[in-house]
Chain A
Amino acid sequence: MPAKELQLDQAACAECGLCVAVCGYDALVLHATELEVIQSECVLCDACVIACPTEALTIE
């Protein structure tokens, strides 16, 4: 079974930056028009998934 990863649904993401504010590992970077997930930094802590208002982030 492949390892779990933080998945981003770009269509659902509103680039609000809430996930960046709760990420303690600098695994999310918000650019002017898009969110970038840096998988190498993500520890799958779930904080961004809990905070995201639009269900754009999941761990699968």
Chain B
Amino acid sequence: MPVSDRDYDVVIVGAGPAGGLAAITTARAGLRTLLVEKHAVIGEPLCCAEGISLCGLNDNIPVDRRWIDADIERCVLYSPGGRQLRLHHPDAGYVLSRRRFEQGLVDIAAAHGCDVVTNTEATGLVADDGGRFRGVRLQENGRAYIAGCAVIIAADGIESMVARWAGLDTLLPTDRLDSAAQFLFSGVPDLDPTRMEFYFDTEIAPGGYAWVFPKGEDLANVGIALAPAVAGSRKAMPMLREFMKRRFGAAAPTPLKRTVGGIPEFCGRKFMLKQNVLVTGDAARLLDSITGAGIANALWSGRLAGETAVEFLRDGRGDLSILKRYPERWMAARGRQMRYFLWARQIFLRMSNADLDAVIAATGALYNDQTVTAIDPIDVIKKALRARPSLLRLARHVVW
């Protein structure tokens, strides 16, 4: 008996970067693919500062210039004591228009034959007696139906319900996440459209940092992320307003849009797979634990999940063990760096303003005002620790 109005090989829930690239991958391989988005407009609401490294984007998808709001060549890191670390990296990366980017990915997937439905909410999964999932319950304008499928890809973000329905305990402890707020501004003074600004100060952003990311000549994302475990009762949105006063003074620009959201810590592979449900991007907590960056990881995991689904259905005759290749490949490619960032985060959360000054001074001695074409974050962390070995003591209480 068919379980749905129409059966698919793959149903992908969430049309962000992970879902979009997964859809492109499976549809291009000829799998019958359905991409489900609960919001009416692809790319809305935004929950992101929109920055991505050059290779993070280029390695995963040929770049369409229409997705790019700014080409980044410079970064400036500000320390609490007023030190600056200036990096000149001609190919550092981009600030995207996530809305145009995500719509662009969906358009490519649709051109390869993927069915796309918006304004449609996933409300549950359908499982058979053996525990394998056979479909996704969907609701569109009051019409409830089931889309049957052989593989489900969960790309539904930090609050992923699909992963939870699949049986993963996705509860996020508040000491393992950052809480973030951001405004999109027009008329930002002193804005260099090629330069990103990062502000580290436990008074400005306890356990996190504040940023100014240009989006062209006149626009910028200005935001703050803080760790609730360090910030106590201080909240991201009021602290962002405080930062605005410090950065712009009386010349405060005009806010066009408000964005808030959470940035979870990386948690290893444990949220990436359950039966025939592949979990990707933020839903699987695949974020850099120091920077909070997640778009490249989302693209990478979406692509790997899609490729694994293709192998599972085309070559593996539905053998569930094939799906284990997805977390294995992800960890082989990104695991070392992600674990290192997670370890560094445990130290970062305990750093004082004096520690931040020392680290930025030490890193400045390596890179300040030099043109660099590649920065190895692991090398930077090692050198910072060497410059201030007392930081290692802060790692004593790291829990793995």
A residues whose Cβ falls under 8 Å from a Cβ of B? 14-18, 20-24, 30-33, 47, 50-55
Near A by CB (< 8 A), chain B positions 174-189 give 174, 177, 179-181
Q: Tell me if B47 and A53 are in contact (CB < 8 A).
A: no
- Contact of A18 (CB < 8 Å), options: B161, B258, B262: B262
Q: Tell me if A21 and B172 are in contact (CB < 8 A).
A: yes
In the complex, A55 Cα to B374 Cα: how many Å?
A: 40
Q: Tell me if A55 and B159 are in contact (CB < 8 A).
A: no
A56 to chain B minimum Cβ distance, whole angstroms, is: 9
B38 interface residue (CB < 8 Å to A): yes
Q: Knowing that A50-B228, A53-B180 are A-B contacts, what are 19 other residue pairs whose CB atoms are under 8 Å apart, sorted by A's residue number?
A: A14-B259, A18-B177, A18-B179, A20-B161, A21-B160, A21-B171, A22-B171, A22-B173, A23-B171, A24-B171, A31-B38, A32-B38, A32-B39, A33-B39, A51-B172, A51-B177, A54-B237, A54-B260, A55-B237
**Interface residues of B, CB < 8 Å — how many?**
32
Given contacts A30-B159, A31-B121, contact A53 B174 (CB under 8 A): no
Residue of B nearest to A15 (CB): B45
Residue of A nearest to B238 (CB): A55
Q: Tell me if A16 and B121 are in contact (CB < 8 A).
A: no
Q: Which residues of B contact A33 (CB under 8 A)?
A: 39
In the complex, A53 Cα to B39 Cα: how many Å?
A: 21
Given contacts A50-B228, A53-B180, A53-B181, contact A18 B171 (CB under 8 A): no
Q: Tell me if A55 and B174 are in contact (CB < 8 A).
A: no
Given contacts A14-B45, A32-B121, contact A54 B159 (CB under 8 A): no
B141 to chain A minimum Cβ distance, whole angstroms, is: 11
B170 interface residue (CB < 8 Å to A): yes
